[in-house]
Homo-oligomer: A and B are copies of this chain.
Amino acid sequence: MQFATPQDVEDAYYDALETGDAQAMASIWDASEDAVCLLPMTPLVTGARIQRLWQAIFEQGGTFDIQVRHLIWIEGEEVAIHLVEEHSGQDQHEGQALAPIYATNVFRRGPDGWRLLLHQNSPTPPPPPAVPTNGRTAVA
């Protein structure tokens, strides 16, 4: 696979998550040992071990329907940075909306097009606490 733009790589990343396609996932990463994948609350995974991480996740049946909202978009000739909010398609857990997760995706242009160099997730903060008012509950 060749990707002509950072956005093509990003689309392919979230498509691979949705279909659980380890081969597609392998094709989108920068091949160097610099590549970084930092999923929520997991140890840092770098370089060739990123492929094995995703293979293991997908072999366990993991697929992820994630909608992305772009927050910041910085594009240069060689490096591009997209800061996004990831919303799970199943944004409900026991009747409660799941908080979105921040992600920074850094892309690098190489001789064979753009690739994903760094993916870092961070939790978003919990919503403000509900404030009781006159026996009812309002969100602060």
Using a CB–CB distance below 8 Å, which chain A residues touch chain B?
A: 34, 36, 38, 40-44, 46, 71-72, 74, 76-79, 81, 83, 102, 104, 106, 108, 117-118, 120-126
Contacts and interface: CB of A to CB of B under 8 A. Distances in A.
A126 B38 CA distance: 14
Contacts of A76: 78-79
A125 B83 contact: no
Most buried by B among A41, A72, A121: A72
B122 A74 contact: no
B78 A78 contact: yes
A46 B34 contact: no
Contacts of A108: 74
Nearest to A30: B74
29 contacts: A34-B74, A36-B72, A36-B83, A36-B104, A38-B104, A38-B122, A41-B125, A43-B124, A44-B102, A46-B71, A46-B72, A74-B108, A74-B117, A76-B79, A77-B78, A78-B78, A78-B79, A79-B79, A79-B81, A81-B106, A81-B118, A102-B120, A104-B104, A104-B106, A104-B120, A106-B106, A120-B120, A121-B122, A122-B122
